[in-house]
Chain A
């Protein structure tokens, strides 16, 4: 993941902020749905990030604790590092990295959270309306289906060509069964998964 050398003018930072603010409002169901458009903008159109930097930003955020949206922070961080000459660039590069991080996170968070806040308040005050109740109750089966589907996609998305696919499904299935039936702490399961992965089982 070697840094690239790029130059960012103030107008570029502003354009980055506006682009992420726009994506924020389009990212229904999570920032991950905006990934293809971010790739087009950051890697293809402007060349602010390399392909490797882009995909490792997403991968690290998927593996790290916390909301997946933090991959956006890593993208901004990497753009800043690139503008400052990479990690070796010293405090100047780190400062630019933090600037990039602040800009992309502010862009992706502010519009959607503002909208969510007003929508939440409206729904709260109108909780007894038939339409609101129908929406909240009607979505329940959809939500259950979404959770199961998300789990299936996540489990399947990590497949490696040299291990049998059933290994992955076995690990995911056993983990799911344990969570369903017991109250074992989730970190034990994740630790076991990490160990199995490091040993090459999945």
Chain B
């Protein structure tokens, strides 16, 4: 592991503008644990675009619940573990997390073209829809049923997202920190965000920092 890391660093240092590996090879060179040839994957950037368009259009009040359902459970492009890891990265980077996630996935399969296709799919058609809704809304804003329907969908959307979290709990059984410590960390995050209303950046720095630090110590050097 050590030598591999050093070699990798050197190759970067020798040629910092090294061209990225060809897109077709990229999934194979990293996820050695899962056989990329048998895994379902998007067939083309167009497939990515329309897949992300379709899941964005199902995502009322946030796309996250749909992303997990479509990409992990239906299309099987990601495992539960990969979804957790990728989402952690997407969440920590600035910018909308679902947009970051689609960018990461698109880039992984088809490089820059894939990233553009995935982000475009996530934004283009929903943008048209939301403009139409805004124009409609200016005509119907006074109707109490319209406001009520929006509220009802908001409540359901809350349940959907919480359920995504609950569904991922079994994944924590395999965590290097152990199941119970992982659950405690998750519970602290819930309390900090939903109960004490601590700004997310502090929670990520604080609890996230502790979690990553503990994990780092557990992982073999």
| Interface positions of A (Cβ within 8 A of B) | 1, 24-31, 33, 56-57, 59-70, 73-74, 77, 87, 101, 105, 108-109, 111-113, 115-117, 119-121, 123-131, 133-158, 160, 168, 171-177, 179-180, 183, 186-187, 189-190, 192-202
Contacts and interface: CB of A to CB of B under 8 A. Distances in A.
Contact of B96 (A60, A67, A173): A67
Contacts of A195: 149, 152
Interface in B106-164: 107-108, 112, 115, 119, 122-123, 125-127, 129-131, 133-135, 137-138, 141, 144-164
Interface of B: 1, 4-5, 8, 12, 20, 26, 30, 56-66, 69, 73, 81, 84-85, 87-100, 103-104, 107-108, 112, 115, 119, 122-123, 125-127, 129-131, 133-135, 137-138, 141, 144-169, 171-172, 175-177, 181-183, 185-190, 192-194, 199-201, 203-204, 207-208, 211-216, 219, 221
A189 B160 contact: yes
A138 B214 contact: yes
B103 A193 contact: no
Contact of B158 (A126, A146, A152): A152
A122 B156 CA distance: 37
A16 B162 CA distance: 35
B107 A171 contact: no
Nearest to B186: A145
Contacts of A179: 65, 69, 159-160, 163-164, 167
A138 B100 CA distance: 19
A47 to B, nearest CB: 20
22 contacts: A24-B95, A29-B201, A62-B150, A63-B61, A63-B153, A65-B129, A68-B61, A68-B62, A74-B131, A113-B99, A113-B100, A115-B94, A120-B107, A127-B30, A140-B81, A147-B161, A147-B164, A171-B156, A179-B159, A186-B160, A192-B152, A193-B157
